[in-house]
Chains A and B, each alone.
Chain A
Amino acid sequence: MERSPLRGLVISDFHVGTLVNLLVRDEEEPRVEVSAAPFGQVFPTLMGEGPGSVGHDFALVWTRPEGVISGYAGVLEMQAPPLESILTEVDDFVARVVAFAERTGTVLVPTWARDPEDRGFGLLDLTHPEAPGHILRAMNTRLLEGLSEVPGVHVLDAERWVSGGDDRGSDPRLWHMAKVPWRPGVYRAAAGEVKVALRAMTGRSRKLLVLDLDDTLWGGIVGETGWEGLRLGGHDPVGEAYLSFQRAIRALSRRGVVLGIVSKNEERTALEALRSHPEMVLREEDFAGWRINWEDKAGNLLELVRELNLGLDSVVFIDDNPVERGRVREALPEVVVPDWPADPLLYAAALRGLHWFDQSRLSEEDRARAQSYSAERARRALRSDVGSMADWLDRLELTVEAALLDPSTLPRATQLLNRTNQMNLSTRRLSESEMTAWCEVPARRFWTFRVRDRFGDAGLTGLASIEVEGERARLVDFVLSCRVFGRQVEEVMLAVAAEEARARGGYVLEAAYLPTERNAPCLTFLRERSGMKEGEAGVYRLKLDDPIAIPAHVKLVGPA
């Protein structure tokens, strides 16, 4: 679905015209419309004064340390006040950013940086109590401590922007002529990172990493040498590099990235290598699925993505072979296929440099996602063993835990709301602060649903919200992760929402289905399993005469 451009505001104590232009020029999703707050009006804008300080989707508050912390300006002139007084100023700045974020939602705050060529106190710069390097680190630490847990606020590492290579650092000419402290390369890096952050915050992070095997996950052709002949580990720089690459992949997996394989090989031979090679870091159980055969890789990738209930726009595909990369790029343009180094010694670094998996939060559900997909493979295996769907559901020992949204579940609930496309009634996207504000109205209820079964805990995977007006209740959000599709969790969520609506005097529950390119599964549920009657303009209605039964195979816990 084409989404409207995000509206952004850049608040700064320096001229940001170049950054604004670069952000607007960038055609990668999400598209943005950006304006700059009045030059140098950082504090008035944060306090809500002046034009343009409201009515945007995100703000970037990028300042020079000497521009907003007067004590640091003194440091640069060898007149440093006590560190505690400087840090008190930092606390004040943090408090203003927090108050601004509470009013406006998403705020990005780059750390304070200085020209990498500035040697400060030289040898003493990191240790002397009056040295700019020492004090700037303390200020940034305080900034991070103050902002890292604030909903909707994300701190970005500007140090990387200013010192990342050619065309970075400061240009005193630009500063003296135009109050532009940084060279254009810094603004290019900043614009790129802001877009990455916005992608993560709006649910566009990639979730699935699909890998080739021969000369990608390991060195050599397993079909020719057998697993014993592969280059992996050992006293061999190439073998060590493949080991490092696998470790980097495993680290990503522990951050919630699901792994898959698409490889031209004999499946039996390839799986034997995963199981048997003594130095293999990634094993069969680390992969949510695979297509290992001699068919076209693009077709295999498509099948695998469907099996995992994900979209092509959630995939990154890595293959050492440029021909295969070209084929997948051409056939499946939604898949990210990064250029890949020819030298395997560079593989791990190339993977760590990819920004496509950046997340705005790291939840317990993210950490457990890989195991969750492995458990799903086990469920599929059980399903093929038992006869009927009812038998399979009975043997799952499914528990659904319903609870009202609270501060502890807010980050994960926001992530789920903004990332879920398929089982999503309205595809409403909200920031944490917007969600909190929405729930403050007494006529509204917002639930989270945790799902677990005998194979594992899928975590917080469902959301539902209602708004009651007299005898009519409206189902506003109805969201379920694809990881728990097909177990009648949807029926449980609807029953919880309907029961609350009934208890509040509702006579009918209405669900307005807003179609997107991706949420057909929600329509199928409404039509075939919800018990609701289709009305005009995609509105489904459920009379609330009697309680809705919970499916017999589900144990419902809560809501309180």
Chain B
Amino acid sequence: MNPPELRPQPVEGSDESLESRCVTAALDETESLLPPGSRINREPGAPLLVPEGVLDSFGILNLVAALEREADSAAGVHLGLVEALALPEEESPFRSVGDLEAWVRRRLEGGR
């Protein structure tokens, strides 16, 4: 769950927060590289990983690379998601879209 003290950071000229924009763009790209018919559920609580979600280990790696590029390009921040791949399941940011956004938000705030 999102820590209560963290608030989404709105992007200038947009209602969407920076982390949300980065995650959405990365999910869009990752989805475009999946097998035909595969869709990533964008609900905050929806699982990302197989078997409940659609991302296998290769899909997650594409997501990591896409998200790093987005964060680097949008905020000049290195997210360090590669290290996050090794986290135990209960701490993993890849459990759901909401967890991923919260994780990215913390990293963006730490990087600014």
Seen from chain A, the residues whose Cβ lies within 8 Å of a Cβ on chain B are: 15, 17-18, 21-22, 24-25, 171, 173-174, 177-178, 180, 184, 187
Majority secondary structure of chain B interface residues (helix, strand, loop or mixed):
helix
* B34 contacts A by Cβ under 8 Å: yes
Which residues of B, 26-47, contact A by the 8 Å Cβ criterion? 29, 32-36
* B21 contacts A by Cβ under 8 Å: no
Which residues of B, 56-74, contact A by the 8 Å Cβ criterion? 58, 61-62, 64-66, 68-69
B68-A173 in contact (CB<8A): yes
Residue of A nearest to B57 (CB): A178
Give the 5 A-B CB pairs with smallest separation, nearest first.
Answer: A178-B61, A173-B65, A174-B65, A25-B36, A177-B61
* Distance to closest chain A CB from B57 (angstroms): 8
B82-A24 in contact (CB<8A): no
Counting residue pairs across A and B whose Cβ atoms lie within 8 Å, the total is 37
A106–B65 Cα gap in the complex (Å)?
A: 34
* Distance to closest chain B CB from A546 (angstroms): 58
Q: Which residues of B contact A17 (CB under 8 A)?
A: 58
**Beyond A173-B68, A173-B82, A177-B82, is A21–B33 a contact (Cβ under 8 Å)?**
yes
Majority secondary structure of chain A interface residues (helix, strand, loop or mixed):
helix
**Beyond A21-B34, A24-B36, is A15–B68 a contact (Cβ under 8 Å)?**
no
* Distance to closest chain B CB from A171 (angstroms): 6
Residue of A nearest to B68 (CB): A173
A173–B64 Cα gap in the complex (Å)?
A: 9
* Distance to closest chain B CB from A33 (angstroms): 11
* Distance to closest chain B CB from A456 (angstroms): 48
**Beyond A17-B58, A173-B68, A178-B58, is A184–B82 a contact (Cβ under 8 Å)?**
no
B61-A174 in contact (CB<8A): yes
In the complex, per-residue mask of B80-92: 1 if CB is within 8 Å of any chain A CB, else 0: 0010010000000
Q: Which residues of B contact A173 (CB under 8 A)?
A: 64-65, 68, 82
Q: Which residues of A contact B34 (CB under 8 A)?
A: 21
* Distance to closest chain B CB from A180 (angstroms): 8
Residue of B nearest to A19 (CB): B33
Residue of A nearest to B36 (CB): A25
Contacts A25-B35, A177-B85, A184-B32 aside, 20 further interface pairs with beta carbons under 8 A come to: A17-B58, A18-B33, A21-B34, A21-B35, A22-B33, A24-B35, A24-B36, A171-B69, A173-B65, A173-B68, A173-B82, A174-B61, A177-B61, A178-B62, A180-B61, A184-B29, A184-B33, A184-B62, A184-B66, A187-B33
Q: Which residues of A contact B33 (CB under 8 A)?
A: 18, 21-22, 184, 187
A15–B58 Cα gap in the complex (Å)?
A: 10
A283–B61 Cα gap in the complex (Å)?
A: 57
Q: Which residues of A contact B62 (CB under 8 A)?
A: 18, 174, 178, 184
A171–B82 Cα gap in the complex (Å)?
A: 14
* Distance to closest chain B CB from A170 (angstroms): 11
Q: Which residues of A contact B61 (CB under 8 A)?
A: 174, 177-178, 180
* Distance to closest chain A CB from B23 (angstroms): 17
Residue of B nearest to A173 (CB): B65
A417–B35 Cα gap in the complex (Å)?
A: 34
A21–B32 Cα gap in the complex (Å)?
A: 9
A187–B29 Cα gap in the complex (Å)?
A: 12
Residue of B nearest to A171 (CB): B65
Between A and B, 10 residue pairs with Cβ closer than 8 Å are A21-B33, A24-B36, A25-B35, A171-B65, A171-B69, A173-B68, A177-B65, A178-B61, A178-B62, A184-B33
A124–B68 Cα gap in the complex (Å)?
A: 33
Contact of B64 among A18, A25, A177 (CB under 8 A): A177
Q: Which residues of A contact B29 (CB under 8 A)?
A: 184
A546–B32 Cα gap in the complex (Å)?
A: 64
Residue of B nearest to A27 (CB): B36
A62–B28 Cα gap in the complex (Å)?
A: 26
Q: Which residues of A contact B66 (CB under 8 A)?
A: 184
Q: Which residues of A contact B82 (CB under 8 A)?
A: 173, 177
* Distance to closest chain A CB from B85 (angstroms): 8
Q: Which residues of B contact A18 (CB under 8 A)?
A: 33, 62
A87–B30 Cα gap in the complex (Å)?
A: 39
* Distance to closest chain A CB from B90 (angstroms): 22
A21–B36 Cα gap in the complex (Å)?
A: 7
* Distance to closest chain A CB from B95 (angstroms): 19
Residue of B nearest to A20 (CB): B35
Q: Which residues of A contact B36 (CB under 8 A)?
A: 21, 24-25
Residue of A nearest to B58 (CB): A17
Residue of A nearest to B69 (CB): A171
A187–B33 Cα gap in the complex (Å)?
A: 9
A21–B66 Cα gap in the complex (Å)?
A: 17
